[in-house]
Amino acid sequence: MATLLIVHHTPSPNCRAMLESVVSGASAPEIEGVRVVRRAALAATAVDVLEADGYLLGTPANLGYMSGALKHFFDQVYYPCLDETRGRPFGYYVHGSDTTGAVRAVESVTTGLGWQRAAPAVSVAGEPGKADLEACWELGAALAAGLME
């Protein structure tokens, strides 16, 4: 069974709504043969990354950058996972008033890891509306569907 690892930092109700939409999409009844594993960014480990087949990342944009928690996650897993996870699919969502720096940071680190973006990123400023939450649902569904055997 394939595993989709969702690594997130969810400090606000807006980030929580986006996470729940992503999880709902990844866990849709049409998705078969994919195990969805959620880990808070500060709790996720290199073992979690190595055991997964794809990744979905979620972060607020804090002071123009990804959250410190997601940065800590990347710092912990980068070298242990560098050679073993090249080419694996990933996607991500970002929430904040200015997501430009956070998007650039996530793209930079995942490029360094050699991960392949499998769906468009979801970037939301302000309270997520219906279309934003639908985009998050689609993001989760797309990543999980891509892992189906």
Q: Is 34 helix (H, G, I), strand (E, B) or coil?
A: strand
Alpha-carbon radius of gyration of the chain: 14
Mean pLDDT value across residues 11-19: 97
Mean pLDDT (the chain, rounded): 97
* C-alpha–C-alpha distance, residues 82 and 99, integer Å: 26
**105-138 residue pLDDT tens:** 999 999 999 999 999 999 999 999 999 999 999 9
Residue 63 has pLDDT above 80, yes or no: yes
pTM strictly above 0.75? yes
How far CA 61 is from CA of 17, 19, 29, 70, 112, in Å, comes to 15, 15, 31, 10, 20
Phi and psi angles of residue 85, each rounded to the nearest 5 degrees, phi first = -115, 5
Quick one: average pLDDT of 16-33?
A: 98
